[in-house]
Amino acid sequence: MIFHYSLFEFKRVLKSPALLLFVISLPVAFVFIVGMLVLQAAQSELDEVELVVIDEDQTFETETLIQQLEGDETLEEHVEFIRVDGEVEAFTDESNIAAIIRVPEGFTSQLRSGINEPIDVYLNEGQPFASQLGYLLLQSGQDYITAAQSGVNTVNYFIGSQLEGDERSDFVQQMTVHFTLLSLGRNSLFDEQHLTEINALSWLEQAYVAVISLLYVLTLLFYNFLFKPKTWSSINERLSLIRLTSWKRALGQSLHLITFSLIYLMLFGVLVPSIWFEFSFGIMLVQWSLVAIVFIFLYVVLDYLLKVPAFSLTVFSLFSALFLLSSGLMLPAAFLPEWLQIEWLQSVSEAFYHIFNEGNAPLYEWGMIVLMALVLLVLLRLATRRGETSS
């Protein structure tokens, strides 16, 4: 009965091939236009990124660190470092400055003593792309400074402790500079595979995940909105005559949407992107299918709880937007406010990281996604049971 209901839904959709083509192409056009606008805004903003550097420590080590950043090949064409003296407040109103970097007094002495003194970064909200570039720069630099600090502490512990007075001070300074230059020079600060966050996708991989996620959610929205029968109440009466309960209809609708999503994601989410990305076709298809199941069960639950199609689709849009952000599908967790950084939802985006970088099935992350789907399935069962008892 469930299979026949799902087949009935497909036959109804295939009777309108032009409408189906419109449902698939409209999200593509929307994402393309929005993507071009965002890309144009980002490029114009990132053409000349100005970062103000206030070095309050004024030591040989901090001078060496700033010179190393200024001379980095990946930065010099895009970032202009402006060295100034004074207070941070004097530059906060400058609209052309993307970020202000303040090296606090005592930074070098703290580094020598084994304490990683934080470098303050003030971002310009009027330049979101450029300011985040400065933020990532300093976060990346922090990893290298930590590496340098570890080297200094190790050498100081085994060798420096045997020296005395000025000889020991000069030796520690030499080792600080040596390990700072060594750690900064090992990798490019903006090498996509060495970002600051653990399990962080590269920019290209993140763009792929974000675009496919947004395309799929928009397609699911338009699909359910445009193919919803206008005479649904009369169809419900006919289905009740053949004892097709609301629970079976919900499963039939879910099966129908899962099948449609599988075909859609096989083409747009896996087959076409495989031209540019290297990943296991089967593993990636399973990952997208599990993500789709979560969205489908969420929609079906809301549809049976709220009853009114327009209202349920509106609420589904809001929940989908929150899920896309909190799960890291649209943006990396580092760019999100703390209230949106829900750790257990991050398993969705972390699964993509493991697929891209390890090539293995992310079983733990898949388990978390399946758990989300099971919770929604239980809610669906409770909703349909309540509908059956009330009728």
Note whether residue 89 is domain-resident: yes
Here the tokens at position 383 are: 């909703």
CA–CA dist 342, 354 (Å, integer): 19
**Judgement on whether residues 219 and 99 belong to the same structural domain of the protein:** no
**Residue 322 has what pLDDT?**
94
Measured CA to CA, the distance from residue 236 to residue 252 in angstroms comes to 14
Task: With CA atoms as reference, report the closest residue to 74 among 121, 140, 8.
Answer: 140
Return the structure tokens found at 83.
């060295």
Q: How far apart are CA 155 and CA 148, in angstroms?
A: 11
> How many CB atoms are located within 10 Å of the residue 155 CB?
17
- Domain contains 43: no
- Candidate from 264-268, 300-304, 334-338 with smallest mean pLDDT: 334-338
* Per-residue pLDDT tens digits for 124-144: 766 666 666 666 555 555 554
Asked if the structure places residue 181 within a domain, the reply is yes
Structure tokens of 124? Answer: 């310009």
What's the pTM value of the predicted model, to 2 decimals?
0.66
Looking at the structure, tell me whether residues 239 and 339 fall in a common domain: yes
Specify the pLDDT at position 227. Answer: 85
Mean pLDDT of 162-178: 55
Instruction: List b or e across 2-34, with b for residues whose CB sees 16 or more CB atoms inside 10 angstroms.
Output: beebbeebeeebeeeeeebeebbeebeeebeee
- Residues 223, 146: one domain? no
pLDDT at 193: 31
- What's the mean per-residue pLDDT of the chain? 76
Asked if 291 and 345 count as a contact pair (C-beta separation under 8 A), the reply is: no
Is residue 210 located within the same domain as residue 345? yes
- Predicted pLDDT of residue 182: 47
CB 355 within 8 A of CB 287: yes
pLDDT at 213 over 90: yes
Within-domain flag for 251 = yes
Task: Read off the pLDDT of each residue in 379-391 and give the average, rounded to a whole number.
Answer: 74
> Is residue 161 in some structural domain?
yes
DSSP string, 185-254: HHS-TT-GGG-SSTTPPPHHHHHHHHHHHHHHHHHHHHHHHHTS-TTHHHHHHHHHHTT--HHHHHHHHH
Q: Between 124 and 309, where is the model more confident?
A: 309
- Mean pLDDT, rounded, for 68-81: 65
In the sheet where 99-103 sits, what is the strand order?
79-84, 49-55, 99-103, 120-123
- Report the candidate in 216, 320, 198 with the shortest Cα–Cα distance to residue 273: 216
* pLDDT surpasses 70 at 180: no
Check whether residue 19 and residue 153 sit in a common domain: no
Average pLDDT over residues 235-264: 79
Nearest to 141 by CA among 99, 85, 87, 201: 99
124 three-class SS? coil
Q: Are 129 and 12 part of one and the same domain?
A: no
State which of 173, 191, 209 marks the end of a domain. 191
Give a yes or no: residue 313 inside a domain: yes
Residue 271 belongs to a domain: yes
- Rounded CA-CA distance 30/23 in Å is 11
192-209 residue pLDDT tens: 333 333 456 777 888 899
Maximum Cα–Cα distance for the chain, whole Å?
96
pLDDT for 194 equals 30
Q: Is residue 286 part of a domain?
A: yes
Residue in 69, 317, 286 with CA at minimum distance from that of residue 189: 69
Q: Token pair for residue 305?
A: 């709880």
Same domain, 236 and 110: no
Q: Taking residues 42-49, what's their average pLDDT? A: 60
Residues 9 and 71 grouped into a single domain:
no
Same domain flag for 292 and 345: yes
Rounded (5°) CA angle 305-311-313 = 85
Identify the domain boundary among 191, 212, 246: 191
* pLDDT tens track for 267-287: 999 999 989 888 999 999 999
Take residue 151 and report the two structure tokens written for it.
Answer: 């080297």
**Residue 166 sits in the same domain as residue 226:** no
Residue 94 in 3-state DSSP? coil
Share of the chain above pLDDT 90, in %: 29
Q: Render 25-87 in DSSP notation, one character per residue.
A: HHHHHHHHHHHHHHHHHHHHHHSSEEEEEEESS--HHHHHHHHHHHT-HHHHTTEEEEEE-S-
Over pLDDT 70: what percentage of the chain?
Answer: 67
Provide the domain limits for residue 76.
48-191
pLDDT of residue 387: 64
Where is the domain boundary, 161, 191, 221? 191
pLDDT above 60 for 359: yes
Same domain, 214 and 127: no
Could you give the number of structural domains in the chain?
A: 2
What was the pLDDT predicted at 196?
Answer: 34
CATH of residue 134: 3.40.1710
pLDDT exceeds 70 at position 8: yes
Contact 140, 189 (CB under 8 A): yes
**179 in the same domain as 58:** yes
Which of 29, 33, 141, 32 is closest to 81 using CA atoms? 141
Q: What is the mean pLDDT of residues 353-376?
A: 92
